Chains A and B, each alone.
Chain A
Amino acid sequence: MFQARAEPESDTQDSSQHNGILSPNAWIRIHTDGRILLVIARSEMGQGIATGLAMLMAEELEVGLDQIQVEQAPVGSAYTNHLLGEQATGESTSIRDAWQIMREAGAVARQLLIAAAATIWSVPDSRCSARRGRVHLAEDPRNLSYAELAETASRLPLPPAPKLKPSDAWTLIGTPQPRIDSPDKVLGAASFGLDIKLPEMLYASIARCEVIGGRITGWRSEAALEIPGVLDVFAVRYGIAVIAKTSWAALRGRDKLELSLRPSANPAADSNRIRDRLQGALKGRAAVARKDGDVSTALNGSHAQIEAVYEVPFQAHACMEPMNCTADVTTERCDIYVPTQAQGRTQATAERITGLPKDRIAVHTTFLGGGFERRREQDFVVDAVELSQLLKRPVQVVWTRADDLQHDFFRPMSLHRLRGGIDAEGRLTAWFHRVAGPSVLARIAPDEIRDGIDPCMMAGAADLPYRVPHQRIEYRRADTQVPIGLWPGGGYDHNSFAAECFIDELAHLADRDPLQLRRNHLADRPRHLALLNEAAREADWDKPPASGRGRGLALAEAFGSLIVAIAEVSVENADIHVHRILCAVDCGQAINPQSVRAQIESGVAFGLTAALKGKITLTKGRVDQRCLSDYTPLKAHEMPEVSVHLVASDAEPGGVGGLAIPVMAPAVANALFALTKQRIRTLPIRLS
């Protein structure tokens, strides 16, 4: 069912005619033998996107999901994600980008098939209708399968404009559909990056310099070379590569390397020093991301005001499948087999290294054993392409778990200073939020930084959903040597923790129920209000929680969607138990409600890991966490009961991949305050 494509871009150009195959666009191919092939241009990393995109196409094409095969797209301009500006998967954009495009692709093919049937029967198109892969003639038993119509349809001109079905005619969109990748995944047959095996392939493990900013100045390889199966050891761009006949030999050989390092000339990256630096950035000048009214005057004139500082640590992505890439570079062409979220950049990376033209560089996207934005990066691609080019053999580069944790592009550490004021009626009058932290986009997309504002760092702060008359939102960039990158949830993740906890602090100051205070400042926002009310109703917010339990709330507006989470917690001997997470979600039109629920559950686990457990620290330039017992994701017995309440909506679909993550830490922290009166302002959450 699921396969990677072999051909590079050259064959993906739109063409409606070849060999009788109906291929009206880059996504749909209907063969005369009955095969209906849908091309999936986004990476399947667990979010169910293959099923979601197939549903959008199949809805308009009038085929069942049981009648199609899907294929991963090669690199091609047709496959650009317009919200990211490149062929890539991430930032909860896939469905929003595809919503119109995929349905139109299906509609065009359907219209051609209907026109073909009408031509064959010499009747007007209006007398023909499509259903489950066949075109039927009205009030007439005649019908033809898509296979029978493909050749005729392939010779017809494309319709001037795709006609989309009205929403009341949908049979797939909005209905729970089983994932198309489940059968392979329960068989262990789904092919991930590390499962690729090419003839003559060699394996490589690369020892990188453990000290950030440092260099490997020498190495001894004798012991490594004694390991049976180890073929060679030499320096490459990112470290010392051990080349072997098997994965195991490569990993063993690499363990036997003796490296000498030269530390960075700069002061070592160190958590305490970085915290001092960020604390300094909480004062002094900063760039202003948003200014409504006059915060200083409003604070001075407020009935009561408070200030608080929040701290969010570096976080690792810790995908279950360690980073890896397989490349096969010859003088003629380059094939890359890789679990990637960024096909466009992968091709560009290989183009830069090999000098081959783009049409000879094929990117074969495997299943991804987790992505979490880590697989937008190119470091593992560079490893494999350079080594294969050098060795003139296919090479698979295998990262160890320690490599993966130590050489991540971490979620940045950030500090947040907030000030807020209320009036005598308990209404928020002033809101100040300064974000201090390194810039994520400085490396990835420096052009997007305007007037000193990194929009990625400010998401969820500059667009605070609450109406507060006087607001000032600031960013003070404070770069560190620690490599940082995108993380699911993006800026919403750190900013929602600070803002959603601080609004609880203000509710406490105003002696108002945290839910009511939020409602008061969303009075003109019906979607937000409806969702808050839904969550409150489902959680019985008006009744006190069970004895010994605390309940906390958080709201986020992100990726075109809204979420309200309510956490229920208890504490036993300073151990925090999260018993229940209730999420009310308004993501506009849900394509596959089943996938939306699964994604919210997934975000709960990912967000709770970050809230309760995950933290990357550095000592003298080294990342302290080396293995999964140092950085442990949430385990089965720690998973709370999760209930997801989807609000019916016909608004444009929003993203859900990263939606639940930002509300976990604040919902749990607010619940702990309700229970213990301890304010949590630092992640991961620890009770004193």
Chain B
Amino acid sequence: MISVTLNGEPLELDLDPDTPLLWVLRDHLGLTGTKYGCGEGQCGACIVQLDGEPVNACQTPLSAAANHSVKTIEGLSPDGRHPLQLAWIVEEVAQCGYCQSGQLMTADALLAKYPRPTDAQIDAAMSEVLCRCGSYNRIRRAIHRTANPESQNG
């Protein structure tokens, strides 16, 4: 049995410890918000947070999450009203949407580290997640909007 705290809930999993977290979430737990994009840690579509750090779930075996805390897009907010999610909607970030869970989880980890990130900090963090629809500028605006709510007009 492997103990994991998933989105704040303790969980006991009787699974092969080598199973990548991505497939634990998708195949076994039905948490399909975390996406399979490459399986090689190159696209970032599967990024989740392990103790608050963004990790590629496809490259993280379940064993690495044992006795640690995992947060997925489903755990970002109960109702879609996390400030990043709201900013994402205002800035119309998502197009096809496939990479967006990875983008949001990376952005959330970034803001935990740098509450007022610079463009360079945003670029460094967000370049881990590929978006074929080119939503990058909107992502940057949405992160700034979240970080500086008082300087936004709406």
Contacts and interface: CB of A to CB of B under 8 A. Distances in A.
A287 B129 CA distance: 45
B32 A636 contact: no
Contacts of B30: 197
B130 A628 contact: yes
Given A46-B95, A628-B43, A637-B123, A247 B26 contact: yes
Contact of A606 (B20, B98, B134): B134
Interface string A187-224: 11111101101000000000000000000000000000
A369 B42 contact: no
Contacts of A197: 30, 32
B80 interface: yes
A181 B131 contact: no
A178 interface: yes
Given A369-B35, A636-B127, A185 B136 contact: no
B73 to A, nearest CB: 3
A178 B138 CA distance: 14
B16 A637 contact: no
Given A320-B98, A369-B98, A628-B40, A604 B134 contact: yes
B123 A179 contact: no
A633 B38 CA distance: 13
Contacts of B9: none
A636 B123 contact: yes
Interface in B25-49: 26-28, 30, 32-40, 42-43, 45
Contacts of A187: 33, 73-74, 80, 85
Which of A318, A605, A609 is packed against the most chain B CB atoms within 10 Å?
A: A605
A278 to B, nearest CB: 28
Interface string A232-258: 000000000000001110010000000
B96 interface: yes
A188 B96 contact: no
Contacts of A372: 132
A318 B131 CA distance: 11
Contacts of A320: 35, 37, 43, 45, 96, 98-99, 130-132
B134 A182 contact: no
Interface residues of A, number: 61
Contacts of B38: 322, 401, 627-628
A182 B137 contact: no
Contacts of A398: 36
B126 A636 contact: yes
B146 interface: no
Interface string B84-102: 0100110011111111110
B27 A246 contact: yes
B136 A605 contact: yes
A247 B27 contact: yes
A642 interface: yes
User: For the complex, would chain A's binding face be called helix, strand, loop or mixed by DSSP majority?
Assistant: loop
B42 to A, nearest CB: 4
A178 B154 CA distance: 14
B67 interface: no
Contact of A321 (B98, B123, B137): B98
Given A182-B92, A187-B33, A639 B28 contact: no
A318 B88 contact: no
A401 B129 CA distance: 15
A662 to B, nearest CB: 15
A642 B20 CA distance: 38
Contacts of A188: 32-34, 72-74, 100-101, 104
Which of A190, A320, A602 is packed against the most chain B CB atoms within 10 Å?
A: A320
B139 interface: yes
Interface in A590-644: 594, 598, 601-606, 609, 627-629, 632-637, 639, 641-642
A179 B94 contact: yes
A635 B89 contact: no
A228 interface: yes
A577 to B, nearest CB: 13
B131 A605 contact: yes
15 contacts: A46-B94, A182-B93, A183-B89, A185-B97, A186-B94, A186-B100, A188-B33, A194-B35, A246-B23, A246-B27, A320-B45, A601-B137, A605-B131, A606-B134, A609-B132
Given A188-B104, A320-B43, A601-B137, 10 more contacts: A178-B89, A186-B88, A247-B27, A371-B96, A603-B134, A627-B40, A627-B42, A633-B130, A636-B136, A639-B134
Interface of B: 16, 19-20, 23, 26-28, 30, 32-40, 42-43, 45, 72-74, 80, 85, 88-89, 92-101, 104, 122-124, 126-127, 129-140
